[in-house]
């Protein structure tokens, strides 16, 4: 597999073409961004940690029947992935109210939700990734039809049903997370992007200590020590 030109650089990853037109290399960066990239930082080794965490979680989900873009790990901070067309919808799944949900609706931070909430956000930096409903998504042509949106909602819920107990066994509360999906050349919807402490919130089950990117967003402390702890617990038998 030969690494070729850089085809896309996002906030957390770089994507490279390969000599196989169906496959890309996804390289995890050490950069940290928040608040629509107005806040920027960097911690050496963060990319490697996210690559390892995301690979483990994608492998777990794949064993449970979720189709993903991951082909294999290449080295400590890169993965070989299937080329997909990313749907411009961020699927956010929430178990406990925090972050933008508490701000928007005035719910007390840390309130467990009576049921799993799945939300859609329009992936558009210039607009600040606004919350959208199904009709907005269809007007903007972000998905083929209502059935595709229902499928994204179902997949978000299913991923939560797999990950929430997995983390509970490891003394971590899966507070909320964001996932992205892509469509492959045959029209299959695949889980893409990453699942890591950059895109999830993890609270220690006993102390509620934040072990995710909120440490950087809120200036609480280094992220690396926390991400190492998350990886350690994921790898625990």
Nearer to ligand TMP, 56 or 100 (CB): 100
Query: Which among 55-63, 98-106, 107-115, 220-228 is the span making contact with ligand TMP, rule CB under 6 A?
Result: 98-106
Of the candidates 126, 128, 127, the residue with the CA atom closest to the CA atom of residue 100: 128
Binding mask 4-43 for ligand ASP (x = CB under 6 A): -------x---------------------xxxxx------
What's the first-to-final CA gap in the chain, in angstroms?
32
Binding test (CB under 6 A) with ligand TMP, winner from 177, 181, 203, 227: 177
Angle at 38 between CA 108 and CA 109, to 5 degrees: 5
Q: How does DSSP assign 63-112, residue by residue?
A: HTT--BSEEEEEETTEEEEE--EE-SEEEEEEEE--HHHHHHH-PPTTPE
Q: How many other C-beta atoms can be found within 10 angstroms of the C-beta atom of residue 109?
A: 11
164 binds, among ligand TMP, ligand ASP, none (CB under 5 to 8 A by kind): none
Minimum CB separation from ligand TMP for residue 100, in Å?
Answer: 3
> Which C-beta is closer to ligand ASP: that of 33 or that of 79?
33
Residue (148 or 156) nearer to ligand ASP, CB: 156
Q: Are 193 and 199 in contact (CB under 8 A)?
A: yes
Cβ atoms 201, 210 nearer than 8 A: yes
Nearest residue (beta carbon) to ligand TMP = 99
Residue with structure tokens 């299959």? 188
> How would you class 131 by CB atoms within 10 Å of its CB: exposed for 0-12, middle for 13-18, buried for 19 or more?
middle
User: With binding defined as CB under 6 A, does residue 176 bind ligand TMP?
Assistant: yes
Q: Of 70, 100, 85, 112, which is closest to residue 178 (Cα–Cα)?
A: 100
Instruction: Mark residues 50-79: x for contact with ligand TMP by CB under 6 A, - for none.
Output: ------------------------------
Instruction: Write down the least CB distance from residue 206 to ligand TMP, Å.
Output: 20
Residues 184-213 contacting ligand ASP, CB under 6 A: 213
Tokens representing residue 203 in the block: 């609270």
The yes or no reply on residue 76 touching ligand ASP (CB under 6 A) is no
- Pairing type for strands 89-96 and 39-42 reads unpaired
The interface partner of residue 92, options being ligand TMP, ligand ASP, none and the CB cut-off 5 to 8 Å by kind, is ligand TMP
199 binds ligand TMP per the rule CB under 6 A? yes
Binding residues for ligand ASP, rule CB under 6 A, total: 8
Interface ranges with ligand TMP (CB under 6 A): 92, 99-101, 129, 176-178, 199-201
């Amino acid at each position: 597999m030969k690494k070729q030109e850089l085809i896309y650089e996002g906030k957390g990853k770089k994507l490279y073409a390969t000599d196989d037109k169906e496959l890309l290399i996804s390289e995890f960066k050490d950069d940290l961004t928040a608040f629509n990239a107005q806040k920027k930082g960097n911690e050496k080794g963060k990319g490697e940690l996210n690559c390892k965490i995301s690979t483990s979680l994608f492998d777990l989900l794949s064993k449970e029947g979720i189709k993903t873009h991951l082909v294999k790990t290449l080295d400590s901070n890169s993965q070989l992935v299937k080329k997909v067309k990313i749907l411009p919808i961020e699927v956010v799944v929430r178990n406990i109210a925090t972050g933008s949900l508490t701000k928007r609706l005035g719910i007390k931070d840390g309130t467990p939700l009576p049921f799993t909430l799945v939300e859609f956000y329009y992936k558009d930096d210039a607009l600040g990734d606004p919350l959208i409903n199904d009709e907005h998504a269809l007007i903007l042509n972000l998905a083929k039809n209502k059935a595709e949106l229902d499928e994204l909602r179902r997949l978000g819920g299913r991923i939560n049903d797999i990950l929430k107990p997995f983390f509970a066994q490891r003394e971590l509360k899966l507070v909320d997370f964001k996932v992205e999906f892509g469509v492959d050349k045959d029209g299959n919807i695949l889980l893409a992007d990453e699942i890591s402490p950059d895109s999830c919130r993890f609270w220690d089950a006993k102390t509620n200590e934040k072990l995710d990117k909120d440490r950087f967003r809120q200036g609480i402390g280094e992220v690396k020590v926390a991400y190492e702890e998350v990886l350690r617990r994921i790898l625990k038998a």
